[in-house]
Amino acid sequence: MKFDWYYEPTSVNECVEILKEYGSEAKLLAGGTDLVVRLRSRAQKVKALVSLNAMPELSRIQKTEDGLHIGAMTKLMDITKSEMFTGSWMVVKKSAGNVSSMQVRNVATIGGNTCNASPSADTVPGMIASDAIVRIAGTEGERALPLEQFFTGPGKTALKKDEMVVGFKLPDLGPGNGAAYKKYAIRGDSDIAIVGVAARLKLSQDGIIEDARVVLGAVAPTPIRVPSAEQMLIGQVLTDELAAKAAQAASDFCTPITDARATKEYRKEMVRVWTQYVLKEAHSNAQ
Amino acid sequence: MINPSAGAINIDFHVNGKSYSMQVEPFKTILEVLRDDLGLTGAKKGCDDGNCGACTVIMDGKAVKACSLLIGQARGKKITTIEGLEDENGLHPLQKAFIDRFAIQCGFCTPGMIMTAKAILDANPNATEEDIREGMHGNICRCTGYVKIVEAVEAARDQMNR
């Protein structure tokens, strides 16, 4: 693995100028737990490696009036230990703990897990269920994008050549929200998810579902919401029957592939099983 | 910013209490620098792709897989390897426990296991068996079946808490 140029910019402005110069021949190094491995296997070749490790301002978690702001370089381990992920935001904290092993979480970042754009990324479904917004910086300035629009294919994002993710915002969703993420993998967290399901339910005082998100990972080219499942939940009270119906809708909607970990048939079936668990857990968390 | 480099970069870091200031190619991993440039071959190159944990070292108090980190990521950091565990009083309680409890067969995973265990116990001196097993997910052993390894970590924990 060799690269021709190595940069350690100390500001976002410096960084995006470098990205503009090299375009697709530059790669950003966050924690490196995906990138370094890929570079070494020569699955990827790179002209310029741009380390984000000299920009500590990208590692902050801050609560403001409109929500929780998480810097893109925030380590997954720090998220799992943070007290700031209250209420339904807890799903992001818990799902960060589902990524790989302790050693990886000590180094890996939420920005990296997102921008690596694996369809099975564990931190993503919970964030999409939380209506997360991605903050992007480029040479033309900053822009924001709903996270669910950020992924364009396996390993592909909506970032332009001169852009980088600087952080995420979890908006304040108000009271009555509960969310959950469940990962299904053979060897526990150390394995990549065969299926990942996240859900968020917003309940009224009477237990009626006012809003719902059902998000699937590892069963489509990108993490996906299931609008049909969400629509059938809204306005209803969650019963076992309704959960089963929504889960069937989720199973019908996803388009998994067969690979070394599981067949597409098995994944569809596991989505059906898992979605029921996750809906019930989200419901319980909303109480 | 630190000047862009097309060749070697300068890195200052600490290993086992010693300071190093090195000119090194930025595409080398921390594992390669430890083993090839510093002669610290305790951390092993097992899978070299971030899965087996045989390369685990402690960096700024946290267990990390040295094969998955570029040397630039060591800038200003304090690294401890298995060679840094023994002191003037002899072997570290973890090292002694692994020997006494027969938690070693071929020994290849052992340095990584011990460094991960140390990181767990340093952060949580009262780690339970469950905490230990959870924390050691990132370290694979082909020989022992893990039972003796967990026993050794628990024995070291008890010894260190006395």
Domain range summary for chain A, segments of one domain joined by +: 5-51, 56-171, 177-285
CB contact under 8 A, A4 and B6: yes
**Which of B1, B63, B75 faces A103 most closely, judged by CB atoms?**
B63
- The residues, ordered by sequence, that sit 6+ positions from B23 with a Cβ below 8 Å of its Cβ are B8, B9, B10
- The domain made up of A56-171 has a fold known as 3.30.465
pLDDT tens for A89-147 read: 999 999 999 999 999 999 999 999 999 999 999 999 999 999 999 999 999 999 999 99
pLDDT tens for A141-177 read: 999 999 999 999 999 999 999 999 999 999 999 999 9
Distance separating alpha carbons of residues A229 and B117, to the nearest angstrom:
44
Q: Is B89 left (phi over 0), alpha (psi -120 to 50) or beta?
A: alpha
Q: Is A24 left (phi over 0), alpha (psi -120 to 50) or beta?
A: alpha
Contact indicator for B57, A103 with CB cutoff of 8 Å = no
What's residue B2's pLDDT? 53
**Which of A8, A9, A32 faces B69 most closely, judged by CB atoms?**
A32
Residues of chain A positioned with their CB less than 8 A from the CB of B119: 102
Contact indicator for B71, B35 with CB cutoff of 8 Å = no
Sheet containing A67-71: order of strands: A61-64, A67-71, A164-171, A133-138, A141-146
Contact indicator for B61, B110 with CB cutoff of 8 Å = no
Tokens coding A245: 């119906």
Buried (b) or exposed (e) across B50-78, using 16+ Cβ within 10 A? bbbbbbbbbbeebbbbbbbbbbbbbbebb
What's residue B65's pLDDT? 98
Percent of chain A at pLDDT above 70?
A: 100
Distance separating alpha carbons of residues A127 and A168, to the nearest angstrom:
9
Contact indicator for A50, A91 with CB cutoff of 8 Å = no
B72: which DSSP letter? G
**pLDDT band of A211, cuts 50, 70, 90:** very high
- Stated as kind and residue range, the H or E segment containing A136 is strand A133-138
Does pLDDT of B6 surpass 90?
no
Distance separating alpha carbons of residues A270 and A283, to the nearest angstrom:
20
**Which of B5, B64, B139 faces A106 most closely, judged by CB atoms?**
B64
What's residue B81's pLDDT? 98
**pLDDT band of A3, cuts 50, 70, 90:** confident
Residues of chain A positioned with their CB less than 8 A from the CB of B1: 7-11, 14, 54
Superfamily of domain A177-285: CO dehydrogenase flavoprotein, C-terminal domain (3.30.390.50)
Residue type present at position A171: P
Q: What ipTM goes with this model?
A: 0.95
Does pLDDT of B17 surpass 60?
yes
pLDDT tens for B31-83 read: 999 999 999 999 999 999 999 999 999 999 999 999 999 999 999 999 999 99
What's residue A42's pLDDT? 76
- Stated as kind and residue range, the H or E segment containing B13 is strand B9-15
pLDDT tens for B84-136 read: 999 999 999 999 999 999 999 999 999 999 999 999 999 999 999 999 999 99
All domains of chain B in start order, with CATH: 9-84 (3.10.20.30), 93-160 (1.10.150.120)
> What pTM was estimated for this model as a whole?
0.96
Phi then psi for residue A223, to 5 deg, are -60, 140
What's residue B131's pLDDT? 97
Does pLDDT of B1 surpass 60?
no
Residue ranges in A47-167 assigned as alpha helix (H)? 76-81, 90-96, 102-105, 110-115, 123-129
Closest listed residue to residue A196, CA positions, set A252, A132, A118? A118
Closest listed residue to residue B119, CA positions, set B45, B64, B44? B64
Which of B65, B114, B153 should one mutate to test binding to chain A, selecting the residue with the greatest count of A CBs within 10 A? B65
Distance of CA B133 to the CA centre of its chain: 17
Distance of CA A154 to the CA centre of its chain: 13
Once rounded to an integer, what is the mean pLDDT over residues A4-29? 95
**CATH class label, A5-51:** alpha beta
Distance separating alpha carbons of residues B77 and B63, to the nearest angstrom:
13
Does pLDDT of B12 surpass 70?
yes
Q: Is A174 left (phi over 0), alpha (psi -120 to 50) or beta?
A: left
- The residues, ordered by sequence, that sit 6+ positions from A227 with a Cβ below 8 Å of its Cβ are none
Q: How far off is chain B from A18, nearest CA to CA, in Å?
A: 10
**pLDDT band of A45, cuts 50, 70, 90:** confident
Query: DSSP string of A194-221?
Result: SEEEEEEEEE-TTSBEEEEEEEEESSSS
Three-state SS at B94: helix
CB contact under 8 A, A103 and B138: yes
Closest listed residue to residue A187, CA positions, set A129, A100, A71? A100
Distance separating alpha carbons of residues A144 and B123, to the nearest angstrom:
37
pLDDT tens for A247-267 read: 999 999 999 999 999 999 999
Distance separating alpha carbons of residues A283 and A144, to the nearest angstrom:
30
